[in-house]
Amino acid sequence: MINPILRSGVYAIINKRLNLVYVGITEDCFLIRWIEHLRRIPNYISDNDRTTLYLAEDTKYIVLKELDPNEYSKKEFYELEVKAQTFYKQKGWIVVSTSTFREDTNYSDWTSTKKSKNERYMQAISHMITTIGKSENQKDISTIYNSLYKEINQEFNTNVYNRSKKAILQELTAAELLYILLSLYPLYKVERLKYMRTQPRQMALQILV
């Protein structure tokens, strides 16, 4: 059974105590979008509501509706995103996200390729491992990679070391990359938020670079 956060559709980053919510869509998978949200927190240091939502300890990342991009058009994704945003607004919530949806626009089909998705996953993995390595007293990054590769070998009954001597990550399949993302996500989320909550000055400097 596929983990729900590896599916696509409409999601929310929500804080019921603060009545703050971000509503978004993804035609890839919820997991990669949530990782990207965490990675890009410094980009929103000037947006107080959004930063507060991201950094609050009781904020949750939830799936609102699963949608298969092979069955639903891009326009339908956007329509459901707007519907969810409207729902929260009518309840008096602060919705920190905006939608680019236009009723009179003819939307093209989804255009993500296998290569672009894998590159997206690899970029996320590199960032996650760097974050975790920094949090664990400068733990050797190569040690983390090798540990993950051993997990891949066992889980997929393969030997990734036979594929390449140097750029092993680039030789992994989409399923293997997603396995790594899912494996790293719980610890990454904890460490990323811990770091961001204690680095307001550094966050401000990053946004200026």
Beta bridge partners of residue 22, listed in sequence order: 13
Q: pTM to 2 decimals?
A: 0.90
How many other C-beta atoms lie within 10 A of the C-beta of residue 153?
Answer: 15
Count: domains in the chain:
2
CATH assignment of the domain containing 34: 3.40.1440.10
Give the sheet arrangement for strand 60-66, strand by strand: 60-66, 9-15, 20-26, 94-95
- Residues 80-132 have pLDDT tens digits of 999 999 999 999 999 999 988 888 888 888 888 889 999 999 999 999 999 99
- Residues 169-191 have pLDDT tens digits of 999 999 999 999 999 999 999 99
* The pLDDT of residue 194: 93
**64 is a domain residue:** yes
Distance CA 135, CA 208 (A): 24
Amino acid of residue 166: K
Q: Give the contacts of 38 (CB within 8 A, at least 6 positions apart).
A: 54, 188, 189, 192, 193
Flag the least confident range among 41-50, 59-68, 147-156, 191-200: 191-200
Instruction: Print the domain residue range for 62.
Output: 4-95
Q: With contact defined as beta carbons under 8 Å apart, do 191 and 180 qualify?
A: no
Q: Give the contacts of 155 (CB within 8 A, at least 6 positions apart).
A: 179
**103 is a domain residue:** no
